[in-house]
Amino acid sequence: MKVLQDETATVAAGAALGQALIERYDGSALVFLLGNLGAGKTTFARGLIQGFGHSGAVKSPTYTLLEPYELEQGVVYHFDLYRISDPQELEFVGIDEIIDGSGIKLFEWPERATDWLPDPDVTVELEVNEYAPNARNLTIVYR
């Protein structure tokens, strides 16, 4: 477990994971982002996506389920399943092709759909640090 002292550190940790995934998985990996609301999952995803060359904003696709990014360093699919109510919603966005294809697939709230998703290559867990409101505890596990 690593302590991220502020938001900038979380963004940097996301970018660092992106580079590790290029080296380790040739840029194709299924990544689960775990943690409560406000833990920093979207912030971490933003670090990875901007680290791949995206210069605009990154917001959680809570209503659209998926936001794809085709970037200089590779393709990133950013999912947020917080509001999913039916597995068909995943079918509609072409989940099977995305899972089978290349690119980094980031899932916020994968717990909402574990029956429909394969096991992840990597899990990233974030939690608010109990001593400092702007610090986060980060645990990355390669599975």
Report the chain's terminal Cα–Cα distance, integer Å: 16
Residues that bind ligand ADP (CB under 6 A): 4, 6-7, 9-10, 35, 37-43, 60, 108, 134-136
Site for Mg ion contains 60 (CB under 5 A)? yes
Q: How far apart are CA 86 and CA 112, in angstroms?
A: 10
Angle at CA of residue 50, ends 142 and 112, nearest 5° = 50
Min. distance of Cβ 97 from ligand ADP in angstroms?
25
Instruction: Write out the binding residues for Mg ion, residues 78-97 only, by CB under 5 A.
Output: none
Which of Mg ion, ligand ADP, none sits in contact with 129, Cβ below 5 to 8 A by type? Answer: none
Which of ligand ADP, Mg ion, none sits in contact with 67, Cβ below 5 to 8 A by type? Answer: none
Angle at CA of residue 40, ends 62 and 134, nearest 5° = 140
Closer to ligand ADP by Cβ: residue 28 or 134: 134
Min. distance of Cβ 64 from Mg ion in angstroms?
13
- CA torsion sign for 51, 54, 59, 61 is negative
Q: How far apart are CA 105 and CA 120, in angstroms?
A: 9
Site for Mg ion contains 41 (CB under 5 A)? yes
Closer to ligand ADP by Cβ: residue 7 or 28: 7
